[in-house]
């Protein structure tokens, strides 16, 4: 269900193709501050006000209880292109008994944050790869018999890219494809490069990996659902091995529009395992991988509370990532 909270003059509306349209009928409109009766369940509010950005706000009405929604809207033009704002507040973290290593259910309170709507693309990654400094480091490591920064797998250590006469690399994958085959250490170097460029351009943001808690709230909303789209699994709802007869690792982000979270993010159910920034098991030097991936067949691997961990130097054709934005100090 979608609710609209009008306040003042309405701004122009934009539209996009979606598998889950928000029903903004007159019957669903609620004025700011108005109390309504609602059946127990999970609701998605779309909050609007002139001069402000639309905000999706998820709320759960408990049995025999009440729920209050307090939403602080952002000024129009606040959210950077390609990002989604996940509002502050509590959500149900972990607690899925069928998800590997999920842990006990917790109610976690998070500040609001901006997170990329889609996974980072090949085009964005190769802007980093073909930077002069990165090319020099790739060349130096190759002299040592090592490959860094180029998308790769254990079976293709040379990387999924071709080196041209100009010394730059052309990727094997399409530009709009989410990048794959990169390590946590590769991403660490990318973020350092991206943040140097951000500072030079006077940007107010610092680029980072999401924590597991940020990733899971972005994927599940607040109601503890098992998958970004709800509680029922079907292979056709996400990019996995059984989605089609052909493999889909080369498709653009958002190829399967039904793999959409309550906040409007794509591919949190499938496509790529996504690296997160916090340690997986503190003290062991491993880092988390969340979400399903294009080559997986087991339903359990697509559950949003599923947790895997890997050494930061490991690579796989299933590994990718998305970024969050943090305010620069």
DSSP string, 269-304: SSSSEEE-SS-SSTTS--EEEES--TT---GGGG-T
What pLDDT does 22 receive? Answer: 87
What CATH number does domain 81-329 carry, 3.40.50.11890, 3.40.640.10, 3.90.1580.10, 3.40.190.10?
Answer: 3.90.1580.10
Q: Give 243's pLDDT tier (boundaries 50, 70, 90).
A: confident
* Beta-strand pair 205-208/324-327: antiparallel
What pLDDT does 15 receive? Answer: 64
Q: Give 24's pLDDT tier (boundaries 50, 70, 90).
A: confident
CA distances from 42 to 96, 112, 129, 143, 292 (A): 17, 20, 43, 56, 24
Residues 324, 116 contacting (CB under 8 angstroms): yes
Q: What is the dihedral of CA 271, 77, 200, 313, to 10 degrees?
A: -20
Q: What would the DSSP string read from start to end of 171-191?
A: ESS-TTSBP-S--HHHHHHHH
* Dist CA 198 CA 206 (whole Å): 7
What pLDDT does 247 receive? Answer: 79
When pLDDT is averaged across residues 257-269 and rounded to a whole number, the result is 97
Q: Decide if pLDDT at 9 tops 50.
A: no
Residues 205-236: tens digit of each pLDDT: 999 999 999 999 999 999 999 999 999 999 99
Residues 272, 256 contacting (CB under 8 angstroms): no
CA distances from 31 to 8, 101, 120 (A): 10, 43, 38
When pLDDT is averaged across residues 245-270 and rounded to a whole number, the result is 92
Residues 205, 110 contacting (CB under 8 angstroms): no
When pLDDT is averaged across residues 64-81 and rounded to a whole number, the result is 93
Residues 248, 280 contacting (CB under 8 angstroms): no
* Dist CA 138 CA 150 (whole Å): 8
* Dist CA 37 CA 67 (whole Å): 10
Helix extents (H) in 171-290 = 184-200, 212-220
**Of the ranges 9-18, 134-143, 169-178, 198-207, which one carries the lowest mean pLDDT score?**
9-18
For residue 280 the two structure tokens come to 């997986």
CA distances from 313 to 202, 274, 286 (A): 32, 14, 9
> Cα dihedral sign for 260, 265, 268, 272?
positive
Spell out the domain ranges in the chain. 1-78, 81-329
* Dist CA 31 CA 181 (whole Å): 48
């Amino acid at each position: 269900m979608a609710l609209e909270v009008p306040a003042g003059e309405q701004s122009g509306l934009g539209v996009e193709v979606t598998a889950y349209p928000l029903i903004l009928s007159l019957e669903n409109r609620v004025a700011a501050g108005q109390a309504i009766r609602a059946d127990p369940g999970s609701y998605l509010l779309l909050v609007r006000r002139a001069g402000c950005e639309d905000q999706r706000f998820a709320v759960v009405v408990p049995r025999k209880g009440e729920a209050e929604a307090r939403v602080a809207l952002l000024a129009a033009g606040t959210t950077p292109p390609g990002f989604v704002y996940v509002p502050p507040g509590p959500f149900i973290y972990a607690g899925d008994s069928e998800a590997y290593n999920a842990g006990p259910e917790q109610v976690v309170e998070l500040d609001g944050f901006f997170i990329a709507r889609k996974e980072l693309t090949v085009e964005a990654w190769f802007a980093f790869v073909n930077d002069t400094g990165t090319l020099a480091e790739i060349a130096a490591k190759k002299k040592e018999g090592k490959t860094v920064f180029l998308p790769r797998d254990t079976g293709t250590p040379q990387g999924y890219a071709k080196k041209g006469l100009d010394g730059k690399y052309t990727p094997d994958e399409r530009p709009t494809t989410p990048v794959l085959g990169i390590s946590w250490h590769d991403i660490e170097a990318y973020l350092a490069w991206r943040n140097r460029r951000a500072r030079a351009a006077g940007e107010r943001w610092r680029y980072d990996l999401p924590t597991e808690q940020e990733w899971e709230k972005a994927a599940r909303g607040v109601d503890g659902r098992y998958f970004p789209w709800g509680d029922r699994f079907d292979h056709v709802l996400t990019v996995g091995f059984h989605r089609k007869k052909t493999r889909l690792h080369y498709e653009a982000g958002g190829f399967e529009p039904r793999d959409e979270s309550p906040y409007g993010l794509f591919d949190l159910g499938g496509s790529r395992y996504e690296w997160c920034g916090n340690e997986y098991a503190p003290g062991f030097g491993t880092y988390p991988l969340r979400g399903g991936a294009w080559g997986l067949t087991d339903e359990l691997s697509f559950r949003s509370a599923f947790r895997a961990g890997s050494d930061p130097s490991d690579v796989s054709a299933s590994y990718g990532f998305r970024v969050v934005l943090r305010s620069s100090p």
